[in-house]
Amino acid sequence: DGGITQSPKYLFRKEGQNVTLSCEQNLNHDAMYWYRQDPGQGLRLIYYSQIVNDFQKGDIAEGYSVSREKKESFPLTVTSAQKNPTAFYLCASSTVASVSYNSPLHFGNGTRLTVT
């Protein structure tokens, strides 16, 4: 079955530790995205990538880093510099992401990160 796999589903970390969230897709999509969602709020864009070895900052990139070494994979690292890392993190992909046009996003099931 084609889809997006995020792991783990739940993640607990101590403050000051870096943590990497995994996102893998087998949909052959070019574009991949990371969003963050806080309780009662919409999705905020952290990073996105339209092609391998290239990515752009979203609206809240500070304290996060990504890589896109393979088309299928777009891992997100939450660094100790991120002041409020506890949130629900969603990875998504789409077939097309040009200047004016997006195809629909397919979402993974999310990773719920808790930092204490």
Q: Which residues bind another protein (CB under 8 A)?
A: 33, 35, 40-45, 48, 50, 56, 58-59, 90, 94, 97-110
- Name the minimum Å distance from CB 16 to another protein: 28
The nearer residue to another protein, 17 or 109, going by C-beta atoms, is 109
Q: How far apart are CA 30 and CA 49, in angstroms?
A: 8
The nearer residue to another protein, 36 or 82, going by C-beta atoms, is 36
| C-alpha distances out from residue 75 to 25, 33, 54, 99, Å | 11, 10, 13, 24
The nearer residue to another protein, 28 or 109, going by C-beta atoms, is 109
Supply the DSSP symbol for 76. E
Provide the CA 41 distance to its chain's centre, in angstroms: 17
